[in-house]
Chain A
Amino acid sequence: MKSYLLFALKRLVQFVAVVICGCSVAFFVSHLSPISPVDTIIAQVTGRSVADPAAVQEMRRTLSELFGLDVPLWQQYLNFLLHLFTLDFGPSLMAFPTPAMSLIRIALPWTVGLLTVAVIITWVIGNVAGGLAGYFQNSKLLRAFGIIAIGIQPIPYYVVAFLFVIIFGFLWPVLPISGGFAMNVTPGWSWQFALSVIQYSILPAGALVVVGIGTWFLGMRALVSNIISEDYVTYAELAGVPQGRIVGSYVIRNALVPQLTSLAMSLGGIFSGTVITEQVFTYPGLGSLLVNAVNNGDTGVVLAISCISIISVAGAIFIIDLLHPLIDPRVRAE
C-alpha cells in the first residue's frame, strides 16, 4: 500500500508541474497579442458617443485594474499563477463584466459529457472489435470491418463532422445538427430535458465515435496479432484451454494494458477533436465558446479555455496513471 501512495504522490507532483508549465506557456503566448482588451472596450464606448477625456482616462484606469494590466508583466504572471489555483481568470470581454470562468463553467459540462461518453464508447467497442479481429484473422466480417476502418481512420475530425452535417442536415434530416437541446425545452433536472440532450448529442458523439473507433480498432488488432504469438498464448492453445477464456483473459486482457497507456497519450488529441466537432454542430461546449472568443478578440476567455483544457487533460492522464497499477500487477511491484 505504501508503495502505491508514493507512486500516487509522484504522479501528483507531475500533474501539478504539467499544469503550471502548460498554463505558463499559454499565458506568455496570449500576452504577445497586440490587442488590448482595455482599448477595445474604450473604442466600443467612445465610438458611440463623444466622451469627456477625463472620464475616458478614469475608465481606462479602472479597466486596466480590472483586467490586471496595470502592473508590469512579471507581476501579472505571478498574479496569474496565484489566481490559477482558484481558477480565476478575470473578466471576459465579450460578456463584460461576467468573469471568463463563468462562461466556461456553463460550457464545460457539455464538453466533458460529450467527450466522456464518446471516448468510452469508442475505446470499448474499438478495442473489443480489434481484439477479435486480431485473434480471428480469417473472419470475413472482421476483415471487412478492418478495411472500412482503414478507410475512415485518417480522415480528420472536421471533415467527418462536416460530412455528418451534410448527410443528416440536408440529405436525411432525422437528427438535429445544431445546438445542445431543443429550443422549447427548459434546462433543468427533468426527463424531457435529459431526452432532449441525448437527442442533440447523438450526431456530435456519432462523429467522434466514427473518427475514433478506427484508430483503436487498428491499434488493438496490431497489438493482438503480436500477442497471439507470445509463449503463454501458444501454450494455452496447445493445452486446450477453452477459446473464450484465451481470447478474454490471455489476449485482450493483456492488450488492454498498453492500450490504456495509449488512451492517456491520445487524450490531448481527442480533446482537440471534440472541440472542433462541437464547433461544427454549434454544440454549446468549449469549442463554440473558443471560436466566439477568438472572433471577438477576447484574450481572457481564450487563455482561460486553454488552461482549463490543460488541467482537464492532465487530470484525466493523472487518473489513468493511478489506475495503471491496478490493472497490471507487474507495475505494482516497482
Chain B
Amino acid sequence: MFSVFRDLIRYNAEFAIGLVLVGLVVILAALSFVSPVDPTAVYRAPLDQPPSLQYLFGTNSRGQDMFWQLAFAFRNTLSFGVMVAIFSRIVAILVGLVAGYVGGWVDRVLMFINDIFVAIPIFPILILFYFVMRANSNAVLLALLMAGFGWPYDARLIRSVALGLRFREFSRQAVFAGMSPVKIMFHEHLPYVMPIIFATAMANMIWAIGLEVTLAVLGFTNLNIPTVGTTLYWANNHSSLVVGTWWWIALPVAIVVIMFVGLFLLAVSLNEYIDPRSRLRRMGA
C-alpha cells in the first residue's frame, strides 16, 4: 500500500501538490495542541497589530493572536469536515450497498428517500436548525445534520456499483455457497466500493466545510468557538477591511483556499489513479 503512495507522490504531480497543501494546513491545525493561548479569550493582546516576528499572523480587533486563532480555527474546521465525511460515508455505504444488492422494493423505497433528500435545499434547513438551537448549536449535532444531507449523491454511485456486482459470477457463487447477504455485502462488495468512498470523502469534506464557513460568516453558528467561518464573521463585524486590518480576512481566506485546492487535487488524482482507463491514458501517450 505504501509503495502506491510513494509512486503517486513521485509521478503524479497533482497528488504531490495536493498532499503538500493539505499537509501545511494540517500542521497549522496540529500546532493548536501546543498553543499557549486560550482561543476563547479576548482582549489579551495589543489590538490590530500587523504581522510581525512576535505575532506571526498579526492580531485582530478583539485582541487575539491571529496565529493561534487560526490554528484552532483550522483544527475545528478540519475536524468538523472529517466528522461529516465519516458520518455521511457510513450512511451512503449502508444505503448504497443494501439498495444495490437487495433490490426490489427495498431499493425503490431507499431511492425514494434518496430523491427526497436530493430535492430539499439544505441551506434553509440549516438556517432553521440554527434558528431553533441558537447559541446551543453544537458541532457534533450540526455535523450529523449535514451528514444527513451529504449521503444521497454518493449512495447512488455506490448503488450503481453494487448493482453491477450483484450479477457477477463471484456474487452468485457466494449465494450458492450459502453466504449470508450481510456477509456478501460487507466482505465481497465493500472492497470494490472503497475507492469511490475515498474519492468522494474529499469532495464531501470540501462541501461540508464550505457550508460551515458560510453559516458561520452569516453568524448562524456558535460564535464563541473559533472556526474559519467565525473568524470571518468577526472580521466582518469589526469592519476589518475598512479599519485596515486586512490580514484578519486575507490570511484565513488564503489558507482556506489552499486547503480547498489541496483537498480537491487529492480527490481528483486519487480518482484518476483508481480508474484503470485513465491510468492507461497516462501511459506514454
Using a CB–CB cutoff of 8 Å, the interface residues on chain A facing chain B are 14, 17-18, 21-22, 25-26, 29-30, 32-34, 150-151, 153-159, 162-163, 166, 170, 218, 225-226, 229, 264-265, 267-269, 271-272, 275-276, 279, 290-291, 294, 297, 299, 302-303, 305-306, 309-310, 313-314, 317
Contact = CB atoms under 8 A, between A and B. Distances in A.
A159 B132 contact: no
B186 interface: no
Given A154-B261, A159-B257, A302 B131 contact: yes
**Which of B119, B124, B211 is most buried by chain A, counting CB atoms within 10 A of its CB?**
B119
B260 A154 contact: yes
A150 B264 contact: yes
A156 B121 contact: no
B125 interface: yes
Given A32-B132, A294-B131, A309 B261 contact: no
Interface of B: 112, 115-116, 118-125, 127-132, 152-153, 206-207, 209-211, 213-214, 217-218, 220, 232, 241, 253, 256-257, 260-261, 263-265, 268, 277-278, 281
Given A309-B121, A314-B119, 19 more contacts: A150-B265, A154-B260, A155-B210, A156-B214, A158-B210, A159-B213, A159-B253, A162-B253, A170-B241, A225-B278, A229-B277, A272-B121, A275-B124, A294-B220, A297-B131, A302-B128, A302-B131, A306-B124, A313-B121
B185 to A, nearest CB: 24
B155 to A, nearest CB: 12
A268 B206 contact: no
Nearest to B209: A156
A156 B210 contact: yes
B120 A25 contact: yes
Nearest to A317: B119
Main secondary structure on A side of the interface with B: helix
A270 B149 CA distance: 14
Contact of B153 (A157, A218, A265): A265
25 contacts: A17-B116, A18-B115, A18-B116, A22-B116, A26-B124, A150-B261, A150-B268, A155-B257, A158-B217, A162-B232, A162-B253, A225-B278, A265-B118, A265-B152, A268-B121, A272-B121, A290-B127, A294-B127, A294-B220, A302-B131, A303-B128, A306-B124, A309-B124, A310-B119, A310-B124
Contacts of A151: 261
Contact of A302 (B112, B124, B209, B213): B124
Q: Which of B116, B123, B268 has the most CB of A within 10 A?
A: B123
Contacts of B112: 14, 17
Contacts of B130: 294
A22 to B, nearest CB: 4
Contacts of B263: 154
A162 B249 CA distance: 10
A267 B264 CA distance: 21
A154 B118 CA distance: 20
A225 B253 CA distance: 33
Contacts of A306: 124-125, 127-128
A183 B214 CA distance: 29
B241 A268 contact: no
A267 B119 CA distance: 8
